[in-house]
């Protein structure tokens, strides 16, 4: 079914010693949609993403990909499924150019030599497919790029490997207004290409602008998974800060899950 999640967590728990960080978390991401993952500091967002990536193993619960239960022991396992994560530090090497960064650790070779032309063509083609026009040359060193251009290269690097799920950790945190708009447009284009995009952000304006669905973590629990159209900014802030959404009479509106 088109609405079935490509990535799904069911009742996932994760503890570090006596500290229970994730408490029965449910989460879903769908192809062709941007799912925003929001929550206050300490809500469990980073831990959940590291469980998805295989950096941490889950203690209990189910991890499903494409409708099948899987076990992810390491980041390489997640990559093999088609999950790529762009962390806030971007993991780019300033002294290398765009092509070298995009193929770092996955270089194409022709015998004992690097296949430079093949990698250059693939890098240029990937950027073009994402309608990226702010990069003059794929042979520019990353040290010469702006913050928005660096973020674009990191996202393109993730897309290059035929990923189906791309998780973006605070992609606009250090960007100005114009660069933020460029990156948000790129995020939207990723979903429009049919990828499942998970956007982690503290910026409610960004979330409300590009998200199709919003998942709210509160103190290690999934407080709500809602359609973007079902909440406004005030309600979203209330969910993040209290884990509840009440009407004027104090009744919890119960937005834990939404219909397809």
Residues whose CB is less than 8 angstroms from the CB of residue 69 and which lie 6 or more positions away in sequence, other chains included: 62, 63
For residue 260, pLDDT over 80 is answered with no
Where do the structural domains in the chain lie, given as residue ranges? 7-93+163-242
**Least trusted range by pLDDT, from 27-41, 217-231, 246-260:** 246-260
The DSSP bridge partners found for residue 84 are: 166
Interacting residues of 115 by C-beta distance below 8 A, sequence separation 6+? 108, 109
Given pLDDT bands bounded at 50, 70 and 90, which one contains residue 251? Answer: very low
Supply the pLDDT for residue 255. Answer: 52
Query: In the predicted model, what is the mean pLDDT of residues 188-208?
Result: 94
Report d(CA 47, CA 234) in Å as an integer.
26
Q: Give residue 129's pLDDT.
A: 85
Q: What angle do CA 25, 40, 12 make, to 5 degrees?
A: 10
pTM summary value? 0.88
Percent of the chain at pLDDT > 70 equals 94
CATH code at 7-93+163-242: 3.40.50.300
The model's pLDDT over 24-51, given as tens digits with 9 standing for 90+, comes to 999 999 999 999 999 999 999 999 999 9
* pLDDT tens for each residue of 236-249: 999 999 998 875 43
- How far is the C-alpha of 254 from the C-alpha of 132, rounded, in Å? 41
CA–CA distance, 92 with 142 (Å, rounded to integer): 7
pLDDT tens digits, 71-85: 999 999 999 999 999
In the predicted structure, residue 1 carries a pLDDT above the cut 50: no
**Residue 252 DSSP code:** B
Instruction: Give the dihedral of Cα atoms 148, 211, 43, 163; nearest 10 deg.
Output: -70
Is 223 in contact with 216 (CB distance < 8 Å)? yes
**pLDDT value at 259 more than 50:** no
Residue 18: predicted pLDDT: 95
Residue 96 near residue 104 (C-beta atoms within 8 A): yes
- The predicted pLDDT at position 247 comes to 56
Model confidence pLDDT, tens digit, residues 135-188: 889 999 999 998 888 988 999 998 888 899 999 999 888 788 888 898 899 999
What gap in Å lies between CA 171 and CA 18, rounded to an integer?
A: 32
pLDDT in tens, 99-134: 999 999 889 998 889 999 999 999 999 998 888 888
- Burial pattern 38-69, b for ≥16 Cβ within 10 A else e, equals bbeeebbbbbbbebbbbebebeebebbbeeee
Q: What are phi and psi of 222, to 5 degrees?
A: -80, 105
Query: Please, how many CA atoms are within 13 Å of residue 20, restricted to the half-sphere of its CB?
Result: 12
Q: How far apart are CA 173 and CA 187, in angstroms?
A: 14
């Amino acid at each position: 079914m088109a609405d079935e999640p490509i990535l799904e967590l069911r009742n996932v728990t994760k503890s570090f010693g006596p500290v229970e960080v994730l408490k029965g978390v449910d989460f879903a991401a769908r192809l062709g949609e941007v799912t925003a993952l929001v929550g206050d500091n300490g809500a469990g967002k980073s831990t959940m993403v590291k469980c998805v990536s295989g950096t941490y193993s889950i203690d209990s619960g189910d991890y499903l990909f494409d409708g099948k239960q899987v076990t992810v022991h390491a980041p390489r396992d997640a990559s093999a499924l088609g999950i790529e994560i762009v962390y806030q530090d971007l993991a780019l090497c300033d002294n290398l150019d765009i092509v070298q960064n995009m193929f770092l650790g996955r270089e194409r070779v022709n015998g004992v030599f690097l296949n430079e032309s093949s990698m250059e063509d693939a890098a240029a083609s990937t950027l073009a497919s994402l309608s990226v026009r702010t990069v003059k040359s794929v042979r520019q060193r990353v040290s010469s790029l702006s913050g928005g251009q660096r973020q674009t290269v990191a996202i393109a690097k993730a897309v290059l490997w035929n990923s189906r799920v791309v998780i973006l950790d605070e992609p606009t945190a250090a960007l100005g207004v114009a660069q933020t708009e460029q990156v948000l447009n790129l995020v939207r284009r990723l979903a429009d290409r049919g990828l499942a995009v998970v956007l982690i952000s503290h910026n409610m304006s960004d979330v409300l602008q590009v998200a199709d669905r919003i998942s709210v973590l509160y103190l290690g629990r999934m407080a709500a998974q809602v359609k973007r159209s079902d909440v406004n900014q005030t309600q979203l802030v209330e969910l993040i800060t209290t884990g509840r959404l009440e009407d004027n009479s104090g009744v919890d509106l119960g937005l834990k899950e939404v219909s397809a």
